[in-house]
Chain A
Amino acid sequence: MMPDLGPYATEVLLAYAVSLGLMAALVLWVWLRGRRIKAELARLESRLNRSPNGQD
């Protein structure tokens, strides 16, 4: 149930929306970037392992 925020409802809700939005964007960015880099590395490793000179 929504509490009565009185005359400052806009400010309080805005502060929560901005903060949670920024945190969600940060978490999403870190997660997506991590997934992209992991996939790129896996692709690169499999390509190098396939090539005749790719093995150490």
Chain B
Amino acid sequence: MASLWEYANPVKFMRLSGWLLPVTALLAAGLIATGLIWGFFFTPDDYRQGSTVKIIFLHVPSALMAINAWVMMLVASLIWLIRRHHVSALAARAAGPVGATMTLIALMTGAIWGQPMWGTWWAWDPRLTSFLILFLFYIGYIALWSAIEDPDTAADLTSVLCLVGSVFAVLSRYAALFWNQGLHQGASLSVAPGTRMDMTYKLPLYVCMTGFGLLFLALVLAGTRSEIRARRARALLTRERARA
């Protein structure tokens, strides 16, 4: 069986991602469309939340991917720091804008849902606040990559930023448990007994979550391929200038 580290080789990564990308993109589009159509058109209103319960099919998957994207960036950053594989640093870079967008969607859908349900768009609640800080970390991460010209230095510094920001990614996930206060309720989905959500909502939600996960994978694969090409272009330009 091929070792995972083989795909740290850009040529092998490009070959693998070349056929994996269209498959994941098509699956993501199909699952997101199915999950959202199912959730929007074929689920009943909740007895307390009314039709706003339909926002859950966007809010929960995007919030999940906002945190998981940062975890993926953390793992890729650690691989860069320890093993110096360029593909992992470039994959972390590619995940940044995707994670930031997912965080923004989670924040905005949360605010839109919160206005009629809580009576406010925003509250300085532990989970909401940690999510906002996570979003700011995403913006900082993207800005740091763009601000530093040397790609290896940029990868080093952004990896350190990613390690620091991981605190807020963890807080975003568990804030509602750490502080038993604030407006945000606990996890919507749980393996613990005493299930919180009916299967009528759970099934389309699982479809959406899988679709969002595959969308993230497809966008990171596409972004990493672009970063590898951009890196090669930079190397060629540098070589050309050295010859001139």
| Of the residues B113, B219, B226, contact of A11 by C-beta under 8 Å | B113
What's the A-B contact tally at a CB cutoff of 8 Å?
97
| Of the residues A1, A6, A8, A19, contact of B62 by C-beta under 8 Å | A19
Q: What is the size category of the interface that chain A forms with chain B?
A: 20 to 34
**Could you tell me the distance in whole angstroms from the C-beta of B33 to the nearest C-beta in chain A?**
10
| Of the residues B40, B45, B55, B59, contact of A6 by C-beta under 8 Å | B45
Query: How many residues of B are in contact with the other chain, CB < 8 A?
Result: 37
A30, B232: Cβ atoms closer than 8 Å: no
Q: Does B52 sit within 8 A of A, measured CB to CB?
A: yes
Contacting residues, chain B, for A8 (C-beta < 8 A): 50-52, 116
| Of the residues A11, A19, A27, contact of B52 by C-beta under 8 Å | A11
CA distance A14 to B115 in the complex (A): 12
| Of the residues B45, B108, B223, B225, contact of A19 by C-beta under 8 Å | B108
**Could you tell me the distance in whole angstroms from the C-beta of A4 to the nearest C-beta in chain B?**
8
Interface membership of chain A positions 1-39, coded 1 if the CB is closer than 8 angstroms to chain B and 0 otherwise:
101111111011011101100110111011101100110
A26, B98: Cβ atoms closer than 8 Å: yes
**Could you tell me the distance in whole angstroms from the C-beta of B239 to the nearest C-beta in chain A?**
8
Contact flag A18-B98 (CB < 8 Å), given A8-B52, A34-B222: no
**Could you tell me the distance in whole angstroms from the C-beta of B66 to the nearest C-beta in chain A?**
12
A30, B58: Cβ atoms closer than 8 Å: no
**Could you tell me the distance in whole angstroms from the C-beta of A49 to the nearest C-beta in chain B?**
10
CA distance A25 to B97 in the complex (A): 11
Closest to A31 in B: B222
CA distance A8 to B97 in the complex (A): 31
> Could you list 16 examples of A-B contacts with CB < 8 Å?
A3-B41, A7-B116, A11-B113, A11-B116, A12-B51, A12-B52, A16-B36, A18-B105, A18-B109, A22-B105, A26-B101, A30-B226, A41-B233, A44-B236, A48-B236, A53-B243
Chain A positions near chain B (C-beta within 8 angstroms): 1, 3-9, 11-12, 14-16, 18-19, 22-23, 25-27, 29-31, 33-34, 37-38, 40-41, 44-45, 48, 53-54
